[in-house]
Structure 1
């Protein structure tokens, strides 16, 4: 069994909060270009080429980060009901606000509210349905919360198993977990058929769902985050600087764009983004310098879960009602307006909904015996990944 050799100087990991916002921006850029064709013509083609592969590595980052933070901040005397209660308080209020806003927008646009889409999204089970219209039928990004709910339900069962592993066992499991997404893509490529996404295209709806949306295939990244956190806490993880980790991630992003599309989806990007998590956590734990620890970037990171949930509403609404006949310059200006609007709304949601509810109802119930549980880390993912301020 790997023991905790590292005694962090702080239970807070603000650098990881800062990274969350940086990782959320490519998701916004993808949805505004490749995902929803907000920009058209030559300008649209230019930005589509840049950001067409930007969203998937960020989602992988958030899933890895989610497992890492939950492990870092795990409370030894915690109970399953208390853990699940805190996670639902963290996730559901913002989700319900975003869901309600989506319903209003759909009604204003005279879009049909289909029962299957409505209820699977409301209860965050849409990622279990292998139908793309259901997966993205309401708030298009909420599918990742469906995966996160599955991760949260599994975490109290997974952590004790991982804690039993020796350092050698942790390294071995980490290597297996890094290989699994490639094997999943290979299996989907060779054995999963279905309806093509585009007529005559090589990728099917079922392949995309199995590799990218299906919770049991995405939990691999979450478990990798657990394993990496255990390696850091045991003192077995080599120290990684933020700059080398960032350069490694950028290089991986470039290489990831060169592989067949099916193999660039899912958790294959975990290998490239994992060092960023390690670098940010160790910088904070050891008190070394970090450019991700500034007050503004940390606040933006804390808002990033709400930002993730609302940004597509601004982009879709602007695309539907504003940019149909706009010039390229006006469309770009509107796009930045969507970004600003998303930030304003996410600030309001974090300040007046998320933070007060987590503070009031999301704290651990102290047991009558034994010392109080240590404070939780504040950094977490949106995302897909929404584990800040446990």
Structure 2
């Protein structure tokens, strides 16, 4: 595996998680200034980047240069790796969040729908009102990811069958998904309507575009073209332009598809970097933060909610001159907690559970024995 490619993309996961954190941090006293009228766009940008990045990375790691073999064993190993990566931390944080959900006066969880949230199925069905909020509110993105992962072995098998026409296949699939998203957003964007275009089946468009982005990247023969170096700043400018447009129009950019051009440019711009060891944005420290970003993402929101209750109870107030130091302190505390949970729980449990399940189902890769 090319670590020079993985390093900056791993670091990118941290930046995406940090953008989401900066939105949710506005719930704390002294950080309300982060919750400007169009701050929700920040969260949607972070999620879009993560979904596109997920498609890119999964294709790089498991598909590569058409080396993926469409077998039950490969599909089984893939799903075990994904399930053991997501579910241990998901279940732990869900238990920790349960008191918040049961005692919430604004968005209480529906106990009868808990099994749906436990299995991460809450975003799979685009029809109807849905099962309501789960204990850990950020887990809706995991539900989307799980649908992507279930579809991945079938997508890879179809890509192998399509051969040289796999880009045509993926492009057609993306256009169909994007077209459906546009139709239901523009014609049926109402909470009372039957189909909801923000749920996982429609967000598969983000993941498919990430796969297409990797295939495009794979064809690059050189990595020093000016346009390749310009992709990252162009992607950032795209997002800045979206935020400026929201402020100017004083209206929300609801369609998730608006995020995708910027997300693809940012992912490709990071991937094209070949001097990542000497690049601060992909330094060893940032790569570690990227590795711990899943834990950071999963624990930050409920830690903020618990902290809010405690601070409000004691009537916490802070002078505006201390707003920035207060933000840095809150982020540092949550990041420290995330690092510890990642090192002591998430990573070791994932590795042990993955190895045990692979062995339990007889899915170990057979080693070639020399004659």
TM-score (norm 1): 0.75
Q: State the match for 1:86 in structure 2.
A: 81
- For 2:366, the equivalent position in structure 1 comes to 368
1:383 corresponding residue in structure 2: none
Match of 1:144 among 141, 145, 150: 141
Q: Is the CA contact (8 Å cut-off) linking 2:276 and 2:282 kept in structure 1?
A: no
Give the superposition deviation at 1:98.
0.8
Structure 1: stretches of 5+ with no match in the other structure: 1-7, 196-205, 372-390
The root-mean-square deviation of aligned C-alpha atoms, in Å, is: 3.6
Given that 2:97 and 2:302 are in contact with CA atoms closer than 8 Å, whether structure 1 keeps it comes out as yes
Partner of 1:120: 116
- Which of 208, 217, 231 does residue 216 from structure 2 map onto? 231
CA–CA distance in 2 between the matches of 1:328 and 1:360? Answer: 45
Deviates more, 1:232-241 or 1:269-278: 232-241
In structure 2, the CA distance between the partners of 1:14 and 1:360, relative to structure 1 (3 Å rule), is same
Aligned mate of 2:282, from 289, 293, 300 = 293
More displaced 10-residue stretch of structure 1: 155-164 or 178-187: 178-187
Give the 3 Å change call, closer, same or farther, for CA 29–243 of structure 1 in structure 2. farther
Q: What's the secondary structure of 1:149's corresponding residue?
A: helix
| Residue correspondence of structure 1 range 165-204 to structure 2 within 5 A | 165=162, 170=167, 173-174=170-171, 177=174, 180-181=177-178, 184-195=181-192
CA contact (8 A) 1:24 1:304 kept: yes
Cα contact 1:178–1:271 (8 A) shared by 2:
no
Provide the aligned length of Structure 1 versus Structure 2: 346
1:19 aligns with 2:19: no
In structure 2, the gaps of 5 or more residues are none
* More helix per residue: 2
Q: Which residue of 1 aligns with 2:239?
A: 253
- Is it true that 1:216 corresponds to 2:216 in the alignment? no
What is the DSSP-based 3-state SS (H/G/I as helix, E as strand, rest coil) of the residue aligned with 1:73? helix
| TM-score using structure 2 length | 0.79
Alignment partner, residue 32 of structure 2: 44
